[in-house]
Amino acid sequence: MGEPESKGEESMKKIGLIALVLASAAIAGTAQAEVKTHKAAQVSLDVPAGWKGQGDENNMVLLDPKEEVMFVLRIVEGSELQKALNDADVFIAKQIEKPTWKDKKDVKLNGMNAITREGTGTYKGKPVDVGVLVIATPSKKFLLVLALIDHSAAAAHKTEVRAFVNSIKPAAP
């Protein structure tokens, strides 16, 4: 038999056990995202658990359970990113009233060229934060990712929205 444990060693074991239980509970409680593929764009994306979605090969609409966040994914016309953004602007103008935009940025998203822009506006009479991302996809088509977020709930959804956008990547062949 070994020597009795000191109070410090006993405390460390208890802390380790508590940490293990908490980590296990966190993992068990974490909702898994559903991987979906936007066929026309040939990209995959991780849709958060509990979100509702509908669409066809070219269009997809996703809503969080409280309907505070809406993503519209849509193929837009254009021979280059800027022209695709111009086409996206026509669609956005039909959805958003009084948009106010910050400067656009050229970015890379998981190896794909993209243009992003953020702003605010009104959607169905409610103030919304607006995110626009136009991606040059593996299918050689351009994908508009339009995020409309209830302004009063935007801070609560920031991490979830960022994770969703960062999950968009070329689909496995």
Q: Are residues 38 and 119 in the same domain?
A: yes
Q: Are residues 125 and 159 in the same domain?
A: yes
| Three-state secondary structure readout of the chain | CCCCCCHHHHHHHHHHHHHHHHHHHHHHHCCCCEEEEECCCCEEEEECCCCEEEECCCEEEEECCCCCEEEEEEEECCCCHHHHHHHHHHHHHHHCEEEEECCCEEEEECCEEEEEEEEEEEECCEEEEEEEEEEECCCCCEEEEEEEEEHHHHHHHHHHHHHHHHHCEECCC
Q: Are residues 24 and 72 in the same domain?
A: no
pLDDT at residue 163 greater than cutoff 90: yes
The torsion angle over the Cα atoms of residues 110, 116, 122 and 124, rounded to 10 degrees, is: -40
* Count of structural domains, the chain: 2
| Six-digit token string for 87 | 């086409």
In whole angstroms, give the CA distance from residue 171 to residue 156. Answer: 29
Neighbours of 57 (CB within 10 A): 10
Q: Are residues 64 and 136 in the same domain?
A: yes
The model carries a pTM of 0.79
What domain range includes position 151?
A: 32-170
Contact 122, 128 (CB under 8 A): yes
Q: Are residues 153 and 78 in the same domain?
A: yes
Q: Are residues 18 and 44 in the same domain?
A: no
Q: What's residue 172's pLDDT?
A: 84
Q: Are residues 132 and 54 in the same domain?
A: yes
Q: Are residues 5 and 87 in the same domain?
A: no
Q: Are residues 19 and 74 in the same domain?
A: no
Q: What is the mean pLDDT of residues 53-74?
A: 94
Contacts for 18 with CB less than 8 Å, ≥ 6 apart: none
Q: What's residue 108's pLDDT?
A: 97
CATH of the domain at 99: 3.40.1000.10
Q: Are residues 82 and 54 in the same domain?
A: yes
Q: Are residues 138 and 150 in the same domain?
A: yes
Q: Are residues 20 and 43 in the same domain?
A: no
- Each residue of 88-135: pLDDT tens digit? 888 899 999 999 999 899 999 999 999 999 999 999 999 999 999 999
In whole angstroms, give the CA distance from residue 146 to residue 144. Answer: 6
